[in-house]
Amino acid sequence: MASFQKYTTKQGQMWLFKLDTGINPETGKRQTTTRRGFKTKKEAQAVAAKLEQEIANGILINNNNLTYSEVFDQWFSNHSKTIKISTKKSIESKFKKHILPRFGKLKMKEITRPYCQKMINEIAQTITSVNDIRIQANQVFKYALKMDIISKNPLEHVSIPRQQKELISEENETLERNYWKKDEIKQFLTITKQELSFRDHILFHLLIYTGGRKGEILALTWDDIDFDAGSIRFAKTLFHNKGKFIFQTSKTKESKRLISLDTKTLSSLKKWRIRQKEENLANANTSGENKMVFTRDDGSPLRLAYPNEKLDIVIKKNNLHRITIHGLRHTHASLLFEAGASIKEVQERLGHSDIQMTMNIYTHVTDTLKEQTAQKFQKYIEL
């Protein structure tokens, strides 16, 4: 049973409660916890009731000696029920590779802020997405704070060191360019048409001309394409887990989008649909029909790594500027800006939930657009 008490601070009257959390199995003695900082008694009573329920469920047994790994297991057993399989797998990978090897065996109460800063600095030397690692690790600390396992969060005020590539000069910025310019795109598509299968050529054409995510493109079915209206619908994504292909709905409402297709892309897709039926018949598929736009010869989905591998092969063989599959999406956005599309139009076409993501691409827009901006100013001022 919790006991409640009013106390005075510089900010005024506050409430606290003390609660018996049961017997410590190591000492055999009863232990209590104190929670402070409530503005009203009613607020303190609500938190106390929740804490009592957690104790009844066995969550707070022997909390004082819990390791980070044990608290992670508690947190993730609940959190994993609220997220998609792909997100779950991604989080598990980040903890397994970067977080648990550094924090797992340590007792929560012994983890200090200097140690956290040291670990973040180490991780920053190996990967660029260190802030994402910090966010994931922090969820366990926040859970521990909520469960009264720790009294303060040692990761709360840890800073993220700047990446070395953020400090490069503008002269070297082109070395980090993860998109292609218009002439590079034309060269690449000419090469894919000559060197790759028709299916793979259309796959890359669609990645470039729609800005779709790799998982969205590989999950496409023919009913997602409206040839009469000239549009394509992105509403699902392909994910591979434990040897099985899974189709998931898009993560955000912005990702679920209907975008227009140009006549060249529509014509190419029509040709591919006919070719696909012919190939299916040749492979003893009597119906000749396949619901998915891109498949292997046996009708199963393409591996998620397949486009990456093909892109790397073409780049290496033809000595092209190196970019990633995601760079094709960046390319689409950059060329849209060059063509005069607004930031809002690009955001909607790419399915960005946060306009800042679109703005980040805009700030790295190609030299062509920069030149056009200067020309526009000259043309206007000389009128």
DSSP string, 69-116: HHHHHHHHHHHGGGS-HHHHHHHHHHIIIIIHHHHTTSBGGG--HHHH
Per-residue confidence (pLDDT) for residue 217, from 0 to 100: 94
Weakest-pLDDT range from 14-23, 125-134, 292-301, 331-340: 14-23
On whether the CB atoms of residues 211 and 350 are closer than 8 A, the answer is yes
Which sequence spans correspond to the domains of the chain?
A: 3-61, 67-164, 182-377
Q: Is residue 339 predicted with pLDDT exceeding 90?
A: no
Average pLDDT over residues 197-222: 94
Classify domain 3-61 at the CATH topology level: Double Stranded RNA Binding Domain (3.30.160)
| Sign (positive or negative) of CA dihedral 251, 253, 258, 260 | negative
Average pLDDT over residues 139-161: 88
Q: pLDDT, tens digit, for every residue of 278-293?
A: 888 877 664 556 789 9
Classify domain 67-164 at the CATH topology level: DNA polymerase; domain 1 (1.10.150)
Q: pLDDT, tens digit, for every residue of 7-45?
A: 888 778 888 888 887 666 555 667 777 888 888 999 989
Per-residue confidence (pLDDT) for residue 283, from 0 to 100: 73
Helix (H) or strand (E) holding 12: strand 12-23
Weakest-pLDDT range from 76-80, 228-232, 323-327: 76-80
Question: Are 3-61 and 67-164 the same fold in CATH?
Answer: no
Q: How far is CA 79 from CA 1, 68, 95, 144, 148, in A?
A: 29, 16, 14, 13, 18
Classify domain 182-377 at the CATH topology level: hpI Integrase; Chain A (1.10.443)
- pTM check: above 0.85: no
Q: Is residue 250 predicted with pLDDT exceeding 80?
A: no
Per-residue confidence (pLDDT) for residue 284, from 0 to 100: 67
| DSSP secondary structure code for residue 295 in this structure | B
